[in-house]
Amino acid sequence: MFKKVLVANRAAIAARVLRALRIMGIPSVAVYSEADARLPYLAEADQSYCIGGAEPVQSYLNQDALLRVLRESGADAVHPGYGFLSENPEFARRVQAAGAVFIGPSPQWIDAMGHKTRARDLMRRHGMPMPPCSELLDGDPAQARRLARQIGYPVMVKPASGGGGIGMMAARDDAELLKAIDQAASMARRSFGDAGLYLEQLLERPRHIEFQVLADRAGNVCHLFERDCSVQRRHQKVIEESPAPLLPRGLVEAAGQQIAGVLGKMGYDVIGTVETLYAQDGGFQFLETNTRLQVEHAVTEEITGIDLVQAQIRLAAGEPLHHVIDRPVAVDGHAIEARIYAEDPVRFFPSPGTLKALEFPSGAGIRIETGFEQGSTVTPYYDPMIAKLIVHAPTRGAAIARLQEALSATCIEGVKHNIPFIQRVLQDPAFRLGNVHTGLAAQVLAA
């Protein structure tokens, strides 16, 4: 096992990884930007280092600064969390070149899955179904129009690199297509340093279903069921739950087994999430593979009792899968996660500021993941998520009720927040019946 682990991230995920390391008895190293110097989880680390200014490129995206801390601290492994450098194959290779272990999939898989069109080609060759999509756009409007018509409108313009819904733009005709391409290319270049785009068939009101996988270095892969992430704003997840409501368990199990089989044949390792779109008339269709721990990993932890962060660390250290998962895994009850953001609850614009009050409820079936406390500042430099509130209960109905009560008991002052929006979704008749889809959030706002 590792002698010391550097946590190359911030806020809720840094706090989560530090907690797992403490439980495992592994010394930890935290890093922080000048803007994050007062965040409370830093006190939980055995060592902490300032790595630069507030802008991500000066700190959490600064590979040289992180590698300097790796050397100076004596850490022999790096946990990247999610976002920032977690899916950067160059950083993973540089960590390995420094003699340490990158706690994630091997760089070859980060590279292979990180470029969406190449990942689709790879998964298609292994039999994964997927919606019609195009080759990379070459900048010629005539090519873009031709490809869009071949696929059939409406289409989605999507960045070939990156994720998180950034740069995804819908187009329903040629005029919208060219505008969408210009906007998506600008956002992709700014966010990911790569303006490459492709087109994908836009499914109307599908469900966004993802499958959690764990794997060892010997090609053994298992899935830990699914998460329904259909409730989104701006193509970014807000509410996630498991099991997915109204989906036959046999259908879900078959899809999970197929995904695990494909990744096993490929030799994929450590951890990942295969994202799909589900339509009743088309089944599960491959979207992408995220080569990291997901924001919503706690949902899976709650229904399986498996600590995914500890499992990720053990698998990266070389332990076999049957040691890490040493018992049959079954779904226990229902879990739902709500992402609480510092943002306007209608327009979803970020609302940075000081948290004059931050109080969460506690009790059976309630879990809070946050990197903040009362008096902390949500800065404009990073994702404005304040916390994740996760509930677990015997049934979906009980979980919804528990989440509603927990959100009502949450007190946040000093910034705008999206709890009113989340409560509107939880009260929506379609959501309560389990009729969720990616357009539900817009439907609720329009009601």
Catalytic residue of the set 10, 94, 292, 396? 292
Alpha helices of 160-219 — where are they, by DSSP H?
A: 174-192
Relative orientation angle of helices 396-408 and 419-427, to the nearest 10 degrees: 150
Indicate the helix (H) or strand (E) that contains 28: strand 28-32
The closest alpha carbon to 211, from 262, 144, 143, 280, belongs to: 262
Q: Give SS3 for 438.
A: coil
User: Active site includes 292?
Assistant: yes
Evaluate whether 374 touches 357 at the Cβ level (below 8 Å): yes
Sequence-distant (≥ 6) Cβ neighbours of residue 295 within 8 angstroms: 13, 82, 237, 339, 385, 388
400: left (phi over 0), alpha (psi -120 to 50) or beta: alpha
Evaluate whether 117 touches 257 at the Cβ level (below 8 Å): no
The closest alpha carbon to 383, from 180, 195, 234, belongs to: 234
Sheet of 155-159: strands edge to edge? 169-171, 155-159, 197-201
CA 138 – CA 125 distance, rounded (Å):
24
In this structure, the strands spanning 5-7 and 221-233 are unpaired
Looking from the CA of 386 toward its CB, the CA atoms found within 13 Å total 33
Evaluate whether 104 touches 95 at the Cβ level (below 8 Å): no
Question: Is residue 328 exposed (0-12), middle (13-18) or buried (19+ Cβ within 10 Å)?
Answer: exposed
Q: Give SS3 for 359.
A: strand
Structure tokens at 7: 């946590």
Sequence-distant (≥ 6) Cβ neighbours of residue 22 within 8 angstroms: 28, 44
Sign of CA dihedral 6, 7, 10, 14: negative
Evaluate whether 87 touches 114 at the Cβ level (below 8 Å): yes
Residues annotated as catalytic are 292
